[in-house]
Every structure is written in C-alpha cells, then in structure tokens.
Amino acid sequence: MAKDSKKHPKPPSRAPSGKAFMDRETQRQLVHILLGIFLITLLFFLGKNKMLYFLSGTLFLGFLLINLVVRGYKVPIASWFVETFERKNAPLPGYGSAWYVVGLLLSCLLIPDINFLGATIVILAFGDAASTIFGRKGTHPLPYNPKKTFEGSSAFFLFSLIGYLFIGWRVFPLALIAAAVESLPIKIDDNLTIPLACVIVFHLI
C-alpha cells in the first residue's frame, strides 16, 4: 500500500503574546526593595557615614548621567535603566529614582539613631513598594483619594512592620503615619514625603 504523499500541515506556531513576565511598575518596585536591602546592609555593616557617602555619590553621578540622557546622549547603563524602569509619564528621566535617593539622604542627615534610620529604609523600600504592587490590584478606593486603594495602604502598613526588627513597638505609629502620608492626594513625590514623615515621627516619639 502506497504511503500518502500528502504532508500533514504543521500546527501553527504560537505567536508570542508580548506580555512580559513582570510589568515595568513591578520591576521598579523590586529595584527599590533590592536597593533598600543593600542600604540596610551597608548601614549596619559599614556605618552611617559610609551610607551617607554612597548616597551623596549616587545622587551626584545620577544627575550627571541624567543630564547626558536629557541632552540626547546614549549612556549604556543609564539609558537602559531609564528605558527599563522609569515611568512613561515621568517629568524627567530618573525622576523617581532621584527623589528616592534624596529622601534617603535627608533621612540619613536628620535621623541620628541608626536603628530608626534602618526602619525608615524598610518603610520606603518595602512598605511603599508593597503599596504599589498590591494597590494596583485593589478594588476599594480610598474616599479621600480615589487613586489609592485600601488594599495598597494596608499592604504599606503591614510590610512596614518589618521595621519592628530595628525599633520594636515604635514601628506601629511610624508605619501608620507613613501609610497615611503615602495615601494623601498631594503632588509631591512620596519618595520624599515618606522619609520626611519618618523624620518628624522620630523627633516626636
């Protein structure tokens, strides 16, 4: 019996969906968390001064690189970082990252207690990141700020409690106030307002 000479058509190959494993915003928040872990390690192993030098150097170098990117130069690492992690609606390249470093730098200058400073880094790195990651999927908007959700603020508070490892019970009012500040409908970047709120709480309690 002769074999059928007709070839069976191959099943159509599945086209790539184009959906990334992780969206840009989640990637941004994971970078914030990793940077926070690095800074906490730097703070407790090498001291506050080394962290201060690192943040100052990072800010200075960051401004130089951002200036080059704005002027149209293709800076390998900086351009990749901006294209990969920066929000599309950011006023300037590296805008959010710059405020993140400025906020931590101010905290380092205004909070003399190394343990409280460690808790502040935890809140900015873990609490704020959790607020964004979980808040985007939330379905219960806050009555005074529809752009924020109850789920996001709750995640902020809960993940900020990791700071208990550094300051004990004081993390509860600190996390609560920082979460409230993060939820406010103000136009100032929360990478600045959250650390400043932590500075004020430190001097009050």
Domain residue ranges of the chain, discontinuous segments joined by +: 24-204
pLDDT given at position 72: 74
Burial of 42 (0-12, 13-18, 19+ CB in 10 A): middle
Tens of pLDDT, residues 124-170: 999 999 999 999 888 899 999 999 999 999 999 999 999 999 999 99
pLDDT digits (tens, 9 = 90+) for 8-17: 444 444 434 4
Give the pLDDT score at 17.
Answer: 44
**pTM of the entire predicted model:** 0.80
